[in-house]
């Protein structure tokens, strides 16, 4: 029988921990953390994610500000706003919600953010710190995945871990974190050009699926007792939901779950942990310390 890794419950526990620290900050007359989110355009998924982030801030006692721009915004104007936030001492952390319109360079925008206020953990300075194992802001989704593994006391040392996907947001950073001292996994990263991908996945003790391909991981690709963490969140049409859509993971949950020791659901697994990791990064920034 598998254990369900409940990211929603774990994130709720972490929010309570953060809220308690914010109460202590308030009692001591210290600054309350302030997170700013910049939203460009009105993409449905982005609107939902940002609304959740604002709600999360309210729950833990953070100040939050939402800055909206039309999708026709000139890149220069967006860069000017980022510069303004970089220089605003009242702002502890901020994010620019991705994806951005095609005429705006995501790399230029990410690089313009002050690494000391990089709540998403995407800036090259923070990624570089992560690679060499010194304190910095971790990318929110990998941060959340590692925290789930730790809180469920899942053994990683010496385990064969396969990360499916090589994005800079999830695949690459989580592969680095799992291989570092303290986690000590043996990590293989597979992607669209990998040969014998199914055979590699079959040998995994731990599978991190982050490719955005609904139901890609089937039961015959997973060995008995594996730990499966599903990062996929693809919106697909559904006739049974009010919105007309549902979130689908990269794993065929019904088929795979009976073979697992631990598995995350979609939704309710990694997603809530990504959101709470933004809060943790902002709190770290407000403390003026860089520690994991």
Q: What digits encode the pLDDT tens for the residues 54-84?
A: 999 999 999 999 999 999 999 999 999 999 9
Q: What domains does the chain contain, in order, with CATH numbers?
A: 29-115 (3.40.50.10860), 140-271 (3.40.50.720)
pLDDT digits (tens, 9 = 90+) for 111-137: 999 999 999 999 999 999 999 999 999
Neighbours of 107 (CB within 10 A): 10
Active-site amino acid positions = 53, 97, 120
Cβ neighbours of residue 264 closer than 8 Å, sequence gap 6 or more = 4, 5, 7, 148, 228, 229, 230, 249, 270
What's the length of the chain?
292
Backbone region of residue 9 per phi and psi (left: phi > 0; alpha: psi in -120 to 50; beta: other values): alpha
Question: Which pLDDT score is estimated for 291?
Answer: 37
Q: Which two tokens stand for residue 122?
A: 């995407």
Q: Predicted confidence band at 241 (pLDDT cuts at 50, 70, 90)?
A: confident
pTM score: 0.92
Q: Predicted confidence band at 289 (pLDDT cuts at 50, 70, 90)?
A: very low
Neighbours of 55 (CB within 10 A): 11
Question: Which pLDDT score is estimated for 292?
Answer: 36
Question: Which pLDDT score is estimated for 247?
Answer: 85
Q: Predicted confidence band at 21 (pLDDT cuts at 50, 70, 90)?
A: very high
Question: Which pLDDT score is estimated for 290?
Answer: 37
Find out whether 278 and 95 touch, Cβ atoms under 8 Å: yes
């Amino acid at each position: 029988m598998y254990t369900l890794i409940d990211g929603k419950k774990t994130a709720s526990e972490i929010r309570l921990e953060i809220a308690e620290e914010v109460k202590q900050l308030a009692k001591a007359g210290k600054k309350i953390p302030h997170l700013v989110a910049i939203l460009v355009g009105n993409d449905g998924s982005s609107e939902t994610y940002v609304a959740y982030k604002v709600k999360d801030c309210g729950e833990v006692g953070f100040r939050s500000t939402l800055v909206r721009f039309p999708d026709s915004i000139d890149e220069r104007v967006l860069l000017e706003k980022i510069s303004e936030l970089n220089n605003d001492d009242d702002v502890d952390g901020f994010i620019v919600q991705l994806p951005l319109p095609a005429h705006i360079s995501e790399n230029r925008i990410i690089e313009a953010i002050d690494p000391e206020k990089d709540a998403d953990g995407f800036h090259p300075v923070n990624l570089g710190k992560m690679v060499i194992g010194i304190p910095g802001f971790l990318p929110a989704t990998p941060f959340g995945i590692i925290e789930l593994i730790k809180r469920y006391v899942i053994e990683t040392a010496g385990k064969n871990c396969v990360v499916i996907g090589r994005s800079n947001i999830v695949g690459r950073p989580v592969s680095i974190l799992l291989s570092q001292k303290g986690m000590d996994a043996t990590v293989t990263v597979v992607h669209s050009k990998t040969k014998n991908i199914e055979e590699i996945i079959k040998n995994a003790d731990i599978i991190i699926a982050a490719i955005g391909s609904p139901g890609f991981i089937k039961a015959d690709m997973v060995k008995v007792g594996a730990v499966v963490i599903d990062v996929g969140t693809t919106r697909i049409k559904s006739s049974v939901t009010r919105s007309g859509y549902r979130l689908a993971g990269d794993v065929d949950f019904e088929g795979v779950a009976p073979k697992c020791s631990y598995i995350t659901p979609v939704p309710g697994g990694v997603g809530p942990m990504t959101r709470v990791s933004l809060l943790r990064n902002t709190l770290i920034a407000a403390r003026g310390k860089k520690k994991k």
